[in-house]
Amino acid sequence: MISSIKRIIRAGWKIFFKSNGFSIATVFILTLVLLLVNTLFLSKDMSQFLFAELQERVDVSIYFVDETFEQDILEVKQTLEEFSEVKEVEYVSKEQALANFTEKHKSDVVLMESLEELGVNPLPASLNVMAWEASQYAAVTQFLEQGQFKDLIANVDYFKKKPVIEKIFSIGATVNRAGLILFSVLSVIAALAVFNQVRLAIINSKEEIKVMRLVGATNWFIRGPFVVQGVFAGVFACLIASFVFGVVCYFLGPKIEVLTPGFNVFQHYTSNFFVVLAVQLCAAIGLGVASSAIAMRKYLRA
């Protein structure tokens, strides 16, 4: 059994180098597909990073009437924190709201002078609520406007921010769906391309296949070398794609990080290198083996 496997591996290795034109074409196609898939998943991770950063900045603000005591606001905060829909609640006092406003508009002389002439702090205390999902803000808003705390609340800006919130979350869902569709399309294209290349290699070796059948070789023994050829093509494609993509990420990393602060593509790639390599190996070898096995069926039936 072991000796047969060794002979099949050696035969597959010989076929791989004997059909160098077909082998190079197969490796090239697999490499191109793996590079495209790597780019796709890196873009997906980058978009998810940006989406998460943007999502962290999205919240709903609850503004309280001026006569509301701080202990009542903190009670509302504690109640909201018990909601499963709520991720985080931040309390902003009247003093903190004024300090934030002053810092943001300190360059606007007219506005600052008007605020000084007013003589009082016109900004209300508020709670900034962040939910896990966009659809959950509506339930939180309904509770606040109709529940026991409705007399304390001056305004909830959910309906003002609703279009932006829903747009952000819909973009995230669209990115995930687009990534899955593109990955499926690329896999089908790769399988068809490799299938045709392997089929041409088998046609080129059809005389050898006939001789092997005449001497009583089993279908498994005939198919084996071509399947091994697919394995070699997948391994070489994976190594080449990993190296090329790593080099590209190394040189483009600093430039892309300018556009996406906090996300370095090279560091992201190296930190996930072994996972990416394992996935690439499985995908490339799987495509090569499956295409070789399917392409052989016609000739084994003849």
- Report the alpha-carbon distance of residue 300 to residue 73 in Å, rounded: 78
Q: How far apart are the first and last CA of the chain?
A: 26
Q: CA 245, CA 120: separation in Å to the nearest integer?
A: 60
Q: Could you tell me the pTM of the whole model?
A: 0.59
User: Two tokens at 291?
Assistant: 């295409």
State how far the Cα of 43 lies from the Cα of 193, in Å rounded to an integer: 24
- Give yes or no for a contact between 97 and 123, defined as CB atoms under 8 angstroms apart: yes
Residue by residue, pLDDT tens for the chain (302 residues) are: 666 667 767 766 676 666 666 677 778 877 888 887 788 778 777 777 776 666 666 678 888 888 888 888 899 888 888 888 888 888 888 888 888 888 887 777 777 777 777 777 788 888 888 887 777 777 888 887 787 888 888 888 776 666 766 676 676 667 667 777 877 777 777 777 767 766 776 677 677 767 766 776 666 676 777 777 777 878 888 889 889 988 988 888 787 777 677 778 888 888 888 888 888 788 777 776 777 667 666 655 55
Residue ranges and CATH numbers for the domains of the chain are: 2-54+168-301 (no CATH), 59-161 (3.30.70.3040)
Give the pLDDT score at 153: 83
The pair of three-digit structure tokens given for residue 157, joined into one six-digit string: 């800006």
Between the CA of residue 300 and those of 54, 201, 202, 220, 296, what are the distances in Å?
57, 15, 11, 10, 6
Dig out the tokens for 262 from the structure: 């906090």
pLDDT at site 58: 66
Residue 84 per-residue DSSP state:
T
CA gap 188, 185 in Å, rounded: 5
- Nearest-Å Rg of the Cα atoms of the chain is 31
Going through the chain in order, the beta strands assigned E by DSSP cover: 60-64, 86-92, 126-131, 153-156
